[in-house]
């Protein structure tokens, strides 16, 4: 067994936290597990949709990252200024940190300014501040047009914009203003979650439209006129709104791009089974990666469940390499997610995205039980990690 190894985990989102905690359980304490992150708190992002409609407060879904140290994980708080992947070294707060292994779990960077007018015109419900400001705006709205917009692809949590539209519609009903409000969802996609297959996509679209929500696929936004409150699409079409909730454009973090780690997709290329990058001893998990599903010509969706499952595999394999015990594992493309539909109900999609000749995904009918299953997982995640 090798002595005194250090594993650097860059990022304390789902993938980084899962990897760090699994490594800490698998490795003797002679080895260090060091997490680097620029945030003070971890925000459980699936619950931002509930915060958006006033069913959660920020304090309920946030936890101090410093609590990871109770689990034996070292925490370095600071913005990563440079990554040197070949050397497995990073610069943080003006100092260098080096590791024997490195896991890049830095997620995606939001780039609303890449669409002219978008940031000034609406609310980015993928952030804590944006979800909170959207809740305040919804509470003031008694009539008008609400637009839910997917600004570009790819984006993380492919169910989220569909959930957002349905939860906003539900919130308008329970506030008694639904008859005065039109809700529309605009997306560049051909349908909801197309990578899950035509049956799942059609079922999701039926759920959306059954609530009187306008669904507008194939609408890639070109710009937003904040003054006129108008969406302008690449096709030349336009749509007016009184309130705009949007999924922002996503891209790999600048520090990752500057390190030359991104492939042709604009994301870190990895082995789809081991999550190894081109650099020895360096893996990447979660939203920062780009994994193409050759069977359907689409990328593996960016979602917390994949970050979680990939992190388990990577942590196990690094621990195996360090201790010399056990056999290596492969990430098999399995994933699942809840789909909130409002009225205290949720659906549940699950399956294998690596299956041939196409991903094999099933979608369970929304129910109260599944909604409470999502609530239970939220509580379990926050309790078990912090």
pLDDT digits (tens, 9 = 90+) for 204-237: 999 999 999 999 999 999 999 999 999 999 999 9
Binned at pLDDT 50, 70 and 90, residue 296 comes out as: confident
> Is 368 domain-assigned?
no
How many domains does the chain contain in total?
2
Whether residues 97 and 175 fall in one domain:
no
Q: Who contacts 118 (Cβ-Cβ below 8 Å, separation ≥6)?
A: 112, 151, 221, 223, 224, 246, 248
Q: Which of 306, 332, 358 is the last residue of a domain?
A: 332
Question: For residue 9, what pLDDT is reported?
Answer: 98
Whether residues 69 and 195 fall in one domain:
no
> Is 343 domain-assigned?
no
Whether residues 62 and 134 fall in one domain:
no
> Is 382 domain-assigned?
no
Give the span between the Cα atoms of 149 and 168, in whole angstroms: 13
Question: For residue 31, what pLDDT is reported?
Answer: 97
Whether residues 173 and 198 fall in one domain:
yes
This prediction has a pTM of 0.95
Q: What is the mean pLDDT of residues 141-147?
A: 98
> Is 321 domain-assigned?
yes
CB 369 within 8 A of CB 345: no
pLDDT over 90, % of the chain: 96
> Is 293 domain-assigned?
yes
Whether residues 100 and 31 fall in one domain:
yes
Provide the mean pLDDT of the chain: 96
pLDDT in tens, 166-182: 999 999 999 999 999 99
Domain of 205, CATH number, reads 3.50.50.60
Question: For residue 64, what pLDDT is reported?
Answer: 97
Q: Which of 332, 349, 373 is the last residue of a domain?
A: 332
Whether residues 242 and 116 fall in one domain:
yes
Answer yes or no: is pLDDT of 2 > 70.
Answer: no
Whether residues 262 and 200 fall in one domain:
no
Question: For residue 219, what pLDDT is reported?
Answer: 98
Q: Which of 217, 250, 283 is the last residue of a domain?
A: 250
Whether residues 158 and 244 fall in one domain:
yes
Q: Determine the structural domain holding residue 227 and report its residue range.
A: 111-250
Whether residues 154 and 188 fall in one domain:
yes
Alpha-carbon distance values, 118 to 187, 192, 282 (Å): 14, 22, 36
DSSP, res 161: H
Whether residues 72 and 192 fall in one domain:
no
Q: What is the mean pLDDT of residues 355-373?
A: 95
Whether residues 129 and 233 fall in one domain:
yes
Answer yes or no: is pLDDT of 238 > 90.
Answer: yes
Whether residues 235 and 153 fall in one domain:
yes
């Amino acid at each position: 067994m090798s002595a005194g190894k250090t594993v650097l985990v860059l990022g304390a989102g789902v993938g980084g936290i899962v990897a760090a905690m699994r490594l800490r359980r698998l490795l003797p304490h002679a080895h260090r597990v060091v997490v680097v992150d620029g945030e003070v708190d971890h925000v459980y992002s699936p619950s931002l949709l509930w915060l958006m409609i006033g069913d959660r407060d920020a304090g309920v879904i946030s936890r101090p990252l410093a609590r990871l140290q109770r689990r034996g994980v070292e925490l370095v708080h600071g913005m990563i200024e440079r990554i040197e992947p070949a050397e497995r070294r990073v610069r943080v707060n003006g100092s260098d940190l080096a590791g024997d292994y490195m896991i890049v779990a830095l997620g995606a960077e939001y780039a609303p300014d890449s669409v002219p007018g978008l940031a000034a015109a609406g609310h980015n419900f993928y952030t804590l501040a944006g979800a909170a400001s959207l809740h305040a705006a919804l509470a003031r709205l008694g009539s008008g047009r609400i637009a839910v917009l997917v600004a570009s692809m790819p984006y993380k949590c492919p169910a989220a914009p569909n959930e957002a539209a349905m939860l906003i519609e539900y919130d308008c009903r329970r506030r008694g203003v639904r008859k005065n409000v039109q809700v529309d969802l605009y997306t560049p996609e051909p349908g909801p979650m197309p990578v899950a297959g035509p049956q799942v996509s059609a079922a999701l679209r039926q759920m959306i439209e059954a609530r009187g929500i306008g669904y507008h696929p194939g609408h890639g936004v070109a710009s937003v006129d904040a003054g006129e409150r108008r969406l302008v699409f690449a096709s030349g079409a336009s749509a007016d709104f009184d309130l705009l909730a949007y999924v922002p454009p996503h891209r790999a973090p600048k520090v990752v791009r500057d390190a030359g780690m991104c492939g042709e997709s604009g994301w870190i290329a990895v082995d789809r089974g081991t999550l190894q990058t081109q650099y020895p001893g360096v893996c990447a998990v979660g939203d920062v990666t780009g994994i193409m599903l050759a069977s359907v010509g689409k990328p593996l969706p960016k979602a917390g469940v994949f970050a979680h499952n990939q992190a388990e595999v990577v942590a196990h394999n690094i621990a195996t390499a360090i201790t010399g015990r056990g056999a290596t594992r492969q990430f098999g493309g399995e994933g699942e997610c809840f789909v909130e539909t409002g009225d205290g109900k949720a659906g549940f999609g699950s399956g294998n995205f690596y299956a041939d000749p196409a991903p094999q995904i099933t979608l369970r009918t929304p129910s109260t039980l599944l909604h409470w299953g999502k609530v239970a997982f939220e509580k379990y995640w926050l309790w078990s990690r912090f």
